[in-house]
Amino acid sequence: MSSPDPLSPGDYRALARFRYALRVFLRFSEDAARSAGVTPAHHQLMLAVKGWDGAGPPTISDLADRLQLKLHSTVELVRRAADAGLVTTAADEADARRQLVALTPHGESILASLSLQHREELRRFRTEMVDVLDELA
Amino acid sequence: MSSPDPLSPGDYRALARFRYALRVFLRFSEDAARSAGVTPAHHQLMLAVKGWDGAGPPTISDLADRLQLKLHSTVELVRRAADAGLVTTAADEADARRQLVALTPHGESILASLSLQHREELRRFRTEMVDVLDELA
């Protein structure tokens, strides 16, 4: 096995720029969520529900995987988001031990507004991101 | 001003995939830092120092901006990283109120190893990232 090509000053600058761009994006995202009246965690939960690409609605353990959270943390997050009127849960008819999660109309509406802002921000972000990733390629 | 094009199911899936990819990357990064014996915050501080693209070494307030931290949090972070032998600080000869931050040889060595791993991970990550950003474009 050959050793990897050594790191150049440009590699370090690109890695640092990448992390800075991520931080600016995450800051934007957290501020946008709070301005829409939800916590960043509730926003991410709603996005994971709406963006779920499996057959049928996601279960709580599907969401735990997507959010990279422990199951008990996800259960608690879903409970708080349900209390806030953003999501509903229902037992899976095929397996009553599984809880399926869906958005309420209120959750749909907030997520749509946040998603438009995020799509816009990511369109701006794309150029910077691709530039930096190309420098490291 | 025209209203933005409406969000498609594919837009929601792309936004969700983007965040999932970020979480997996950030998890990788935190685990890599801890395996190298440093905290994720110390790793990010070292990267911001080494990747600094200004003339001369960065000041603590330069680093606060890059790390998106408050100044007093950055002062504290630099102090702990200095205690851990990763960075050194020195008064700027041009303005003694400014503290310049540099890496120690120990910090350089840990950062080099972490940066090789991150460059590799970001090369893998690039395809997924660019795909998703293209879907939103």
Mention every residue, 6+ apart, whose C-beta is less than 8 A from residue B70.
B64
Residue B75 lies in a domain: yes
What pLDDT, on a 0 to 100 scale, did the predictor assign at position A103?
98
Contact (Cβ atoms closer than 8 angstroms) between residue A21 and residue A132: yes
Query: Do A122 and B133 count as a contact with CB atoms less than 8 A apart?
Result: yes
Does residue B64 surpass a pLDDT of 80? yes
Query: Taking CB atoms and an 8 Å cutoff, what residues of chain A touch B7?
Result: 112, 115-116, 119
Domain membership flag for residue A108: yes
Q: What is the pLDDT of residues B70-88, one digit of tens each?
A: 999 999 999 999 999 999 9
Distance CA A80, CA A8 (A): 47
ipTM over the 0.95 cut-off: no
Please report whether residue B1 resides in a domain: no
Instruction: Quote the pLDDT of residue A2.
Output: 58
Would an 8 Å CB–CB cutoff place B89 in contact with chain A? no
Q: Does B114 touch chain A (CB under 8 A)?
A: no
Mean pLDDT of B42-54: 97
Among A23, A53, A133, beta carbon nearest to B126: A133
Q: Is the pLDDT reported for residue B10 higher than 60? A: yes
CATH number for the domain harbouring residue A50:
1.10.10.10
Average pLDDT, chain A: 94
For B77-108, the DSSP string reads HHHHHHHTTSEEEEEETTEEEEEEEEE-HHHH
In a domain, B108, yes or no: yes
Distances from the Cα of B41 to the Cαs of B47, B55, B79, in angstroms? 10, 24, 12
The secondary structure of A56-73 as a DSSP string is SSPBHHHHHHHHT--HHH
CA distance to partner chain B, nearest, from residue A86 (Å): 17
CB neighbour class for A117 (10 Å; exposed up to 12, middle 13-18, buried from 19): middle
Q: How many domains is chain B partitioned into structurally?
A: 1
pLDDT digits (tens, 9 = 90+) for B85-108: 999 999 998 888 899 999 999 999
Confidence bin at B45 (pLDDT 50/70/90)? very high
- Asked, for residue A129, whether it belongs to a domain, the answer is yes
Domain containing A125 equals 9-136
Residue A15 lies in a domain: yes
Which secondary-structure segment (H or E) carries A88?
Answer: strand A87-92
Residue A4 belongs to a domain = no
A1-56 pLDDT, tens digit per residue, is 556 788 999 999 999 999 999 999 999 999 999 999 999 999 999 999 999 999 88
B46/B105 Cα distance (integer angstroms): 12
